[in-house]
């Protein structure tokens, strides 16, 4: 039997994306239409504008993904789509398009959790990767440690109690007058600065896999305000380096503790913040020191894309986890035990 063709669709935030995957790992196309320039002038994603842009872009992006894959819509065996978490109006565009296609083509529909998708980006980046492994998921909306026991069994070790790591990056950047999205800007500045300022790290106790970044965020904001009040010129490079150092310290410490606790020999990094060069470098060095195998996706597979959704959808379908045509967007969908 021919390997299945999965069409993946992603529209949870500010990228409209469609991808075609053959079997579980062979990526035939991954088209991403980003709205970042549109939202930049507002300093962040404007949900209503995002939905409208998705509506305009979704069908051309799907057509382009199918064309680049060298197939036709009639060849598609199943349709996988992000149904949460994300912006409700944005999610609805992808979900509606996927439902319409699944109905018209008479093919199965698979609703995918966006965060599980981020983890599965690693399977596309590393063909040899197999569960079990520990996953550190760091995105704009989530920060979590997930023990991936097999393709469809996940155990949530812990997650953030307040802000996500990416959210903290974006807020600090905004206060420093840097454009949206702030993560890559802070990353670049941090590479030129020194972590000379001691910002607090929260919940660092052993055996605690929860995160908290709101205290760190406040500490950085207070520091910036007090420097401004004193009339000092902000040393943005050192502030960025110090903030990033504090975030990375916590993420790296907890990730390797979780690896040990669960008895795993492999750690994977996932989510938009996985594109952070400092985080990737620290995890790689620590993995080598502790003899842990370490994987992270290429930049294009780290940030939001439909290839990871198609991959997650494929393995979900292999276990018979399909959706029906009543599938709805669930903006607050969380990472759960599965
Ligand atoms: O996974 P993602 O594309 O969207 C969500 O699902 O949230 O993550 C976006 C987040 C943003 O907060 C962005 O600032 C952050 O990932 N990000 C980074 C870097 N590149 C993207 N954060 C730190 N360093 C980076 N290089
Ligand atoms: Zn994401």
- Per the model's pLDDT, the better-predicted residue between 201 and 230 turns out to be 230
Ligand 2 centre to CA of 13 (Å) is 8
For residues 173 and 154, what is the distance between their CA atoms, to the nearest angstrom? 33
Ligand 1 in reach of 333 Cβ (< 6 A): no
User: Nearest C-alpha to atom 2 of ligand 1 is from which residue?
Assistant: 272
Most distant CA pair in the chain: distance in Å?
71
Q: Indicate the Cα dihedral angle 102, 106, 111, 112, nearest 10°.
A: -80
In this prediction the pTM is 0.95
Ligand 1 and 170: CB distance under 6 A = yes
- 130-173 pLDDT, tens digit each: 999 999 999 998 999 999 999 999 999 999 999 999 999 999 99
Compute the average pLDDT of residues 124-132. 96
Assess whether pLDDT exceeds 90 at residue 338: no
182 CB less than 6 Å from ligand 1? yes
**Pocket lining: 17 vs ligand 1, CB cutoff 6 Å:** no
Nearest CA to ligand 1 atom 7: 140
**Average pLDDT of the segment spanning 9-27:** 97
Atom 22, ligand 1: residue with shortest CA distance = 183
3-state secondary structure the chain: CCCCEEEEEECCCCEEEEEEEECCCEEEEEEEEECHHHHHCCCCCCHHHHHHHHHHHHHHHHHHHHHHHCCCHHHCCEEEEEEECCCHHHHHHHHHHHHHHHHHHCCCEEEEEHHHHHHHHHHHHCCCCCCCEEEEEECCCCEEEEEEEECCEEEEEEEECCCCHHHHHHHHHHHCCCCCCHHHHHHHHHHHCCCCCCCCCCCCCCCCCCECCHHHHHHHHHHHHHHHHCCCCCCHHHHHHHHHHHHHHHHHHHHHHHHHHHCCCEEEEECHHHHCHHHHHHHHHHHHHHCCEEECCCHHHHCCCHHHHHHHHHHHHHCCCCECCCCCCCCCCCCCCC
CB of 35 shorter than 6 A to ligand 1 = no
Cβ of 183 closer than 6 Å to ligand 1, yes or no, is yes
Pocket test for ligand 1, best of 213, 272, 334 (most atoms within 8 A of CB): 272
Q: What is the mean pLDDT of the chain?
A: 95
**Average pLDDT of span 293-301:** 95
Cβ of 169 less than 6 Å from ligand 1: yes
Is 70 exceeded by the pLDDT of residue 285? yes
């Amino acid at each position: 039997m021919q390997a299945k063709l999965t069409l993946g669709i992603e529209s949870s935030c500010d990228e409209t994306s469609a991808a075609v995957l053959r079997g579980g790992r062979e990526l035939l196309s991954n088209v991403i239409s980003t709205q970042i320039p549109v939202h930049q002038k507002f300093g962040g994603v404007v949900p209503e504008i995002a939905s409208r842009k998705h509506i305009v872009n979704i069908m051309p992006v799907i057509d382009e993904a199918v064309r680049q894959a060298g197939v036709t819509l009639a060849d598609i065996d199943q349709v996988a789509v992000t149904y949460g978490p994300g912006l409700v109006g944005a999610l609805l565009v992808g979900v509606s398009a996927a439902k319409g296609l699944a109905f018209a083509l008479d093919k199965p529909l698979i609703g995918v959790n966006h965060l599980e998708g981020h983890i599965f980006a690693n399977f596309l980046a590393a063909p040899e990767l197999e569960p079990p492994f520990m996953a550190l998921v760091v995105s704009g909306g989530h920060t979590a440690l997930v023990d991936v026991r097999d393709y469809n069994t996940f155990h949530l070790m812990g997650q953030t109690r307040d802000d996500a790591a990416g959210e903290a990056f974006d807020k600090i950047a905004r206060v420093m007058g840097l454009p949206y999205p702030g993560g890559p800007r802070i990353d670049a500045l941090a590479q030129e600065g020194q972590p000379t300022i001691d910002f607090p790290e929260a919940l660092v106790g052993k055996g605690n896999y929860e995160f908290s970044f709101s205290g760190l965020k406040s500490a950085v904001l207070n520091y910036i305000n007090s420097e401004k009040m004193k009339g000092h010129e902000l040393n943005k490079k050192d502030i960025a380096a110090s903030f990033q150092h504090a975030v990375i310290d916590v993420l790296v410490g907890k990730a390797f503790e979780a690896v040990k606790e669960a008895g795993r020999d492999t750690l994977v990094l996932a989510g938009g913040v996985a594109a952070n060069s400092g985080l990737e470098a620290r995890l790689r060095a620590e993995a080598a020191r502790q003899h842990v195998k370490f994987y992270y996706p290429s930049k294009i597979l780290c940030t939001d894309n439909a290839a990871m959704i198609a991959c997650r959808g494929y393995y979900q379908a292999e276990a018979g986890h399909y959706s029906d045509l009543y599938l709805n967007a669930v903006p607050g969908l969380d990472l759960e035990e599965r």
